[in-house]
Amino acid sequence: MSLFVFDRVLAAYTMGVHMLFTFWAISLPFFIVAAEYLGYRKNDPYYLALAKRFSVVMAVLFAVGSAAGAAIAVEFITVWYKWMYMVNEVDILPFEIEVLAFFSEVIFLALYLYGWNKLSKTAHMVLGLLVGMGSTASAVLIIIVNSWMNTPVGFNVAQFAQTGALTDINPLATLWPPIATAEVPMGVAGAWFVGFGSLAGYFSFRKLFKKNLTRDEKEYYNRGLKLSIFLAAIDAIFLAWAGDNAGKVLYEVQPLKLATLEGVMQTAKGVPLSVGPISIPGGLSLLVTWPPNPNALVLGYSSFVQSVQNPIWWLAHSAYDLHATLGILGAIVFWILALFTYYGDKLHVKFLGLDAPLDKKVPLYAAFLIGWLQLIAWESGWVAAEVGRQPFVIWGPMVTTSSGLYTIEAGMLTSQGFNNNPDVLPIGIAIMTVLAIAVAGTLYMLKRLFSGKEVSQDVASITTTFGSFAQSPSTPSITHANAETKIEERKG
């Protein structure tokens, strides 16, 4: 394997692993605070048990995710140091602000974890929201750097492409590159959706496959499943807008990347929207324009010189199709589940078990499968976005050639940005090994943290700590739940 290929594989591997932790950092704080709020609001110990248990999960994932981020930082300054030099000269401001956001996240996380029973309920929930705001701000700033790589600003790109000199540097301009209008909403909405969807998948899995569920466990998993379904359904609205907005922004500022993701080879009017075997006439032209115009001209590869065409466009296109398909299916499933969970028997629909989606197997299997498939949607979306930028590390403005075709004045080609020193091999292998151990260690640690600790123990500790909870028709008393558990154990 050549160093050029190795460096790119290393980048794909490290970023792909890191992405497994990013959506948790962005989504979990809001899930936890929502559970805590409902626990106080409804006087419900099960919601509070959710918040306490998952705050521990959040701490573990945060620690490992931070370590993965540190590994990526090492990679940036060794394997892709030429790219990092340009970032340091022009686009370092978002990274510097991101450090402040990261520190804020760390501080508020520590205060939240140690603030149980020591702060007022409101103050504690505000701390949880600040954790989420810090992690979201950190993600936004990293996405802004990625946006700068796609639509570089803050320096004279044309002169750099011609002479290699960095001139007219304006760091403030890098805080919102043109494509950030598409990338930031898509990144945040996507992270929330994957996080909430995965949680719905987890709770559905436990309800489907855990044997001899006690009353406490049923109530606990029901509340977790209901909350994650509602949060995913609400975010699906934001995600739908973000996806539509991304297509329109790409059409305006990166038409070549749009052609790559959508697989548009020929420039034409009324371009169809194609996903696998499905093709909607004029669909793409309609979706990427405002006001919507089904006959709008969409630039394809035929309008660009061959040297700037993506050599692996098919990979970006296939990954994008998978990403979009799973995302749309996920939104539809969670909207349906949220609708029937909220209205229950009022809709009088017993088809596929929708009269009781939290208990019937078909809805549970749907939530389980589509929830965890969002992980594939998340990773494939990242592949589509990054591979779709090739053959550039840093894009450039689109200009017209003497032949009438378009070209891209590259800020930096991928072939110019990698490190061809053989010393990167041991560094890269070490990074890959550490990240593999980190993922395996995370799974082991999470399993060990809750091994032997039953949900009833968490619920009992909540009632001890926060006092008695009022009993409602939908919430069995803890005493009754524990008594029923003991009777079942005796029977067994």
pLDDT for position 246: 97
If asked whether residues 380 and 447 sit together in one domain, one would say: no
Q: Are 412 and 83 in contact (CB under 8 A)?
A: yes
pLDDT for position 214: 92
Q: Could you tell me if residue 110 is inside a domain?
A: yes
If asked whether residues 329 and 430 sit together in one domain, one would say: no
If asked whether residues 430 and 318 sit together in one domain, one would say: no
Answer whether the bond into residue 255 is a cis peptide, omega within 30°. Answer: no
Q: Could you tell me if residue 401 is inside a domain?
A: no
Q: Residue 10's domain spans which residues? A: 1-177+423-465
- How many structural domains comprise the chain? 2
Pairwise CA distance, residues 342 & 454, whole Å: 28
Q: Which token pair is 467?
A: 């006092």
Q: Could you tell me if residue 191 is inside a domain?
A: no
Q: Is 336 exposed, middle or buried (0-12, 13-18, 19+ CB in 10 A)?
A: middle
If asked whether residues 6 and 81 sit together in one domain, one would say: yes
Q: Could you tell me if residue 53 is inside a domain?
A: yes
If asked whether residues 164 and 203 sit together in one domain, one would say: no
- The helix/strand/coil state of 346 is helix
If asked whether residues 156 and 18 sit together in one domain, one would say: yes
Q: Could you tell me if residue 210 is inside a domain?
A: yes
pLDDT for position 97: 96
Cβ-based neighbours of 476, under 8 Å, separated by 6 or more: 215, 219
In a 13 Å sphere around the CA of 130, the CA atoms on its Cβ side amount to 17
Give the residue among 344, 341, 57, 375 at the shortest CA–CA distance from 225: 341
Q: Which token pair is 307?
A: 């040297």
Q: Helices 424-450 & 3-41, crossing angle to 10 degrees?
A: 20
Q: Is 417 exposed, middle or buried (0-12, 13-18, 19+ CB in 10 A)?
A: buried
If asked whether residues 42 and 113 sit together in one domain, one would say: yes
If asked whether residues 50 and 95 sit together in one domain, one would say: yes
Pairwise CA distance, residues 388 & 315, whole Å: 8
Q: Helices 3-41 & 361-387, crossing angle to 10 degrees?
A: 140
User: What single string gives the DSSP state of each residue in 377-426?
Assistant: HHHHHHHHHHHTTTTEEE---EEE-TTS-EEE--SEEHHHHS---TTHHH
End-to-end CA distance of the chain: 59
One digit per residue, pLDDT tens: the chain, 492 residues?
799 999 999 999 999 999 999 999 999 999 999 999 999 999 999 999 999 999 999 999 998 888 888 888 889 999 999 999 999 999 999 999 999 999 999 999 999 999 998 999 999 999 999 999 999 999 999 999 999 999 999 999 888 988 889 999 999 999 999 999 999 999 999 999 999 999 999 999 999 999 889 999 999 999 999 999 999 999 999 999 999 999 999 999 999 999 999 999 999 999 999 877 789 999 999 999 999 999 999 999 999 999 999 999 999 999 999 999 999 999 999 999 999 999 877 777 888 888 889 999 999 999 999 999 999 999 999 999 999 999 999 999 999 999 999 999 888 999 999 999 999 999 999 999 988 988 888 888 888 887 777 888 888 888 777 665 544 444 454 444 444 444 344 444
Q: Look up residue 402 and give its DSSP letter.
A: T
Query: Which residue's entry shows tokens 């992270």?
Result: 191
Whole-prediction pTM value? 0.92
If asked whether residues 17 and 55 sit together in one domain, one would say: yes
Q: Could you tell me if residue 418 is inside a domain?
A: no
Give 268's strand partners.
Answer: 298
Q: Could you tell me if residue 479 is inside a domain?
A: no
If asked whether residues 74 and 129 sit together in one domain, one would say: yes
pLDDT for position 434: 86
Element (H, E) at 372: helix 361-387
pLDDT for position 139: 95
In a 13 Å sphere around the CA of 233, the CA atoms on its Cβ side amount to 18
If asked whether residues 139 and 206 sit together in one domain, one would say: no
Query: Which residue's entry shows tokens 């569920």?
Result: 213
Give the residue among 412, 408, 417, 147 at the shortest CA–CA distance from 256: 408
Q: Could you tell me if residue 57 is inside a domain?
A: yes
Q: Look up residue 345 and give its DSSP letter.
A: G
If asked whether residues 26 and 133 sit together in one domain, one would say: yes
Q: Are 94 and 144 in contact (CB under 8 A)?
A: yes
pLDDT for position 410: 82
Pairwise CA distance, residues 296 & 292, whole Å: 8
Pairwise CA distance, residues 49 & 463, whole Å: 10
Q: Which token pair is 320?
A: 């994008």
pLDDT for position 458: 84
Amino acid type, 295: N
Pairwise CA distance, residues 472 & 46, whole Å: 13
Q: Helices 180-209 & 313-343, crossing angle to 10 degrees?
A: 60
Pairwise CA distance, residues 53 & 35, whole Å: 11
Helices (H), 151-214: 157-163, 180-209
pLDDT for position 69: 84
pLDDT for position 445: 86
Could you tell me the sign of the dihedral formed by the alpha carbons of 391, 397, 400, 405, in that order?
positive
